[in-house]
């Protein structure tokens, strides 16, 4: 049955198209993919870097899963990550002296809170005023980038630069006590990776094992029926987006305190800080069938893709944008094959799967809301 194959075959299709592109650009696909594989998974250091890249992707992906199950399409990840990073950095700047055991949890929580707030706003607007979240989250991204640039160039800037007549918009070196400890020496595998995985597992339990998750999924699939059943629909929606933002905010914090430079820097764009995790996280979540557990797998896959991307660039001279293009293709293929899968599946109605450990498919368990985007309201 295609259901099984939908996602792997999407990946395959993308790789084939990628090979075609490389050929077109006069590079040898085999060399390219070998470099990509080795760069991503060859050896402990490579694996560490992959995990390092995967952590934020996983957190954002989990956030996407949660929101999506409530029929909210959160494409404000970029902004929420930035806000999380800022909140975390500000906290570290404020209490540099606190011991690690206190400061690390504190900055992570601060980041989570920062993202949560940035997510709660569109959530509230959607629930209360029926404002389409796609729009409000995108707008809030635009606000976030400016706020970030303002804070990093002004209030939070590293003043010691003045002595060398420079003002790069970046914080000073953040308190050592806030740095995320490296778990495997000689690699970049830091505590953040572990945290991300735990969060993903927690999210899975929340969605499919708790009454809150039940309510969240019910609201996502039918606001009317949920209201009729006496569920607090609006509150649930706000919570869903808030949690989604929280996960992204945590990702932001981890980006800062797990970074090599241990500062928060901006080049004027959100991407400069997030590395597009806010969007790639959507790909990751989708590739994980909008199920937090499978999202763990896909996050590491895409983390590897990103790490391998630079290796590919060095080896073949094909810009690492290829990876971005490929992930785009993966998304398109997954959602397209999803329809064929659905058709194939409806051939045997008995296969109306629920929960359980069936292979990854976009619509795992009951399908996520049909029109998260068409959604309701303007």
Partner 1 sequence: GSSSSPAPVSSAAAPASVAPAASSSVTPAPAATAPASAAAAASGATSATTLKVALVAPSAVNDLAFTQSMVEALNSIKARYNLQVAISDNQFVVSTAANVIRSYASQGYNLVIAHGSQYGSTLQQLAPQFPNVSFAWGTAGSTFNQPNIFAYQANSNEGGYVQGAMAAMLSTSKVLGVIGPIAVGDAKLYVDGFCAGAKSVDPTISCIPVYTGSFSDVSLFATAAKTFVSNKADVLTGTAQAVVGAIGVARADNLPWFGTQWTQVSLAPHNVVSSQIYNWAPILEQIITEIRGGKLGGATYTVTLGNGGETIQFNSGFNLPANVKAKADELIKGITDGLVNVPQ
Partner 2 sequence: MNAQATAPGGALDNPGVPILEMRGITKRFPGVVANDHVDFDVRAGEVHTLFGENGAGKSTLMRVLYGLYHPDEGEIWIGGQRVTIHSPAAAIHHGIGMIHQHFMLVDTLTVAENVALGTRSARGPLTGLDVVSARIRQLSEAYGLRVDPQAFVWQLSVGERQRVEIIKALYRDVAVLVLDEPTAVLTPQEVEDLFTVLRRMARNGRALVFISHKVREVLELSDRITVLRNGRVVGTLPAAKATRARLVEMMVGHQVATEEPPPRGTTGEPTLLVRDLHVRSDRGTEAVRGVSFDVRAGELVGIAGVAGNGQRELAEAIAGLRTPVAGSITVGGIELGGRGPAAARAAGLGYVPEERMRDGVVTEFSVADNLLLVDYRSRAYARFGFLRRGAIRRHCQELVDAFNVKTPSLETPARNLSGGNIQKLIMARELSAHPRVLLVAQPTRGIDVSASLYIHQRLIAQREDGTAILIISEDLDEIMTLSDRILVMYEGTIIGAADPRTTSREEIGMMMAGVHPGTPSAATQPSAVAGASPI
Partner 3 sequence: MSQFFTAAVLTSTVAAGIALATPFLLAALGETLGQRSGVINLGVDGIMLLAAFATYYVALRTDDVLLAILAGMGTGLLMGVVTAAVSVTLKAEQGISGIGVYLFGLGFSDLLFQKLVGTPLPITTPPQVGIPLLDQIPVLGGMFFDQSPLVYLAFLLVPVVAFVLNHTTYGLKIRAAGENPAAADSLGVSVARIRWSTVLLGCTFAGLAGASLLLYDGIFQVNLTQSEGFIAVALVYFGAWRPSGVMAGSLLYGLVGAIILTWKSLGIIPLSGSDLAATAPAVITVLALLFVARRFRQPAALGKPYEREA
Other residues' Cβ atoms within 10 Å of the Cβ of residue 168: 14
Q: What is the phi/psi pair of residue 98, to 5°? A: -55, 145
Radius of gyration of the chain (CA): 21
Q: Does 170 bind partner 1 (CB under 8 A)?
A: yes
Q: Does 228 bind partner 1 (CB under 8 A)?
A: no
Q: Which two tokens stand for residue 372?
A: 């998260």
Taking the C-alpha atoms of residue 275 and residue 53, their distance in angstroms, rounded to an integer, is 10
Q: What is the phi/psi pair of residue 373, to 5°? A: -85, -55
Phi-psi region of 172 (alpha: psi -120 to 50; beta: other; left: phi over 0): beta
Q: Does 42 bind partner 1 (CB under 8 A)?
A: no
Q: Does 224 bind partner 2 (CB under 8 A)?
A: yes
Q: Does 343 bind partner 2 (CB under 8 A)?
A: no
Q: For the chain, how many residues are written?
A: 378
Identified binder of partner 1 from the candidate list 75, 107, 254, 255, rule CB under 8 A: 255
Shorter beta-carbon distance to partner 3: residue 31 or 100: 31
Strand-pairing partners, residue 265, are 170
Place of tokens 């996602």: 7
Taking the C-alpha atoms of residue 29 and residue 20, their distance in angstroms, rounded to an integer, is 8
Shorter beta-carbon distance to partner 1: residue 197 or 307: 307
Closest distance between partner 3 and the C-beta of residue 299, in Å? 16
Site string for partner 2, 293-332 (x = CB under 8 A): ----------------------------------------
Q: Does 101 bind partner 1 (CB under 8 A)?
A: no
Taking the C-alpha atoms of residue 48 and residue 32, their distance in angstroms, rounded to an integer, is 21
Q: Does 313 bind partner 1 (CB under 8 A)?
A: yes
Shorter beta-carbon distance to partner 1: residue 119 or 309: 309
Q: Which two tokens stand for residue 215?
A: 């309510």
- For residue 182, the partner it binds in partner 1, partner 2, partner 3, none, with Cβ less than 5 to 8 A by kind, is none
Q: Does 109 bind partner 2 (CB under 8 A)?
A: no
- Only segment of 57-65, 161-169, 285-293, 344-352 that touches partner 2 (CB under 8 A): 344-352
Q: Footprint of partner 3 on this chain (CB under 8 A)?
A: 21, 25, 73, 75, 125, 129-132, 134-136, 138-143, 146-147, 149-150, 153-154, 269, 271, 279-280, 282-283, 286, 318-319, 321-332, 334-336, 338-340, 362, 370-378
Could you tell me if 285 and 335 are in contact, meaning their C-beta atoms sit under 8 angstroms apart?
A: no
User: What separation in angstroms does the CA of 138 have from each of 37, 89, 238, 342, 345?
Assistant: 34, 23, 17, 31, 35
Q: Which two tokens stand for residue 99?
A: 């011991």
Identified binder of partner 1 from the candidate list 198, 314, 335, 370, rule CB under 8 A: 314
| Binding footprint of partner 2 on the chain (CB under 8 A) | 209-212, 214-215, 217-218, 221-222, 224-232, 346-350, 352-354, 366-367, 370
């Amino acid at each position: 049955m295609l259901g099984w194959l939908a996602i792997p075959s999407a990946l395959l299709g993308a790789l084939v198209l990628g090979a075609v592109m490389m050929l077109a650009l006069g590079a040898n696909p085999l060399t390219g993919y070998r470099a990509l594989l080795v760069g991503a998974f060859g050896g402990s250091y490579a694996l560490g870097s992959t995990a390092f890249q995967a952590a934020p992707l996983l957190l954002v992906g989990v956030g996407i899963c949660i929101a999506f199950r409530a029929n909210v399409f959160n494409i404000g990840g970029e902004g929420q990550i930035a806000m999380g990073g800022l909140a975390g950095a500000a906290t570290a700047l404020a209490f540099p002296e606190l011991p690690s055991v206190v400061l690390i949890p504190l900055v992570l929580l601060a980041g989570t809170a920062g993202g949560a707030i940035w997510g709660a706003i569109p959530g509230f607007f959607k629930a209360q005023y029926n404002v389409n979240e796609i729009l409000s989250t995108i707008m809030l991204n635009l606000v976030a980038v400016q706020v970030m640039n303002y804070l990093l160039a002004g209030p939070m800037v590293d003043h010691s630069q003045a002595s060398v007549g420079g003002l790069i918009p970046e914080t000073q070196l953040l308190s050592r006590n806030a740095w995320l400890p490296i778990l495997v020496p000689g690699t970049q595998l830091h505590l953040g990776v572990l945290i991300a995985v735990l969060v993903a597992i927690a999210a899975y339990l929340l969605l499919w094992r708790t009454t809150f998750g039940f309510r969240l999924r019910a609201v996502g699939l039918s606001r009317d029926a949920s209201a009729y059943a006496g569920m607090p629909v609006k509150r649930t929606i706000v919570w869903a987006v808030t949690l989604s933002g929280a996960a992204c905010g945590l990702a932001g914090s981890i980006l800062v305190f797990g970074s090599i430079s241990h500062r928060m820097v901006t080049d004027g764009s959100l991407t400069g800080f997030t590395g597009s995790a806010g969007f790639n996280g959507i790909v990751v979540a989708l590739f994980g069938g909008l199920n937090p557990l499978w999202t763990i797998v896909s996050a590491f896959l895409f983390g590897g893709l990103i790490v391998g991307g630079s290796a590919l660039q060095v080896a073949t001279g094909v810009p690492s944008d290829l990876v971005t293009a490929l992930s785009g293709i993966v998304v398109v293929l997954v959602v397209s094959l999803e329809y064929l899968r659905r058709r194939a599946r409806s051939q045997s109605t008995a296969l109306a799967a629920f929960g359980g450990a069936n292979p990854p498919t976009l619509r795992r368990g009951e399908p996520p809301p049909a029109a998260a985007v068409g959604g309701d309201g303007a």
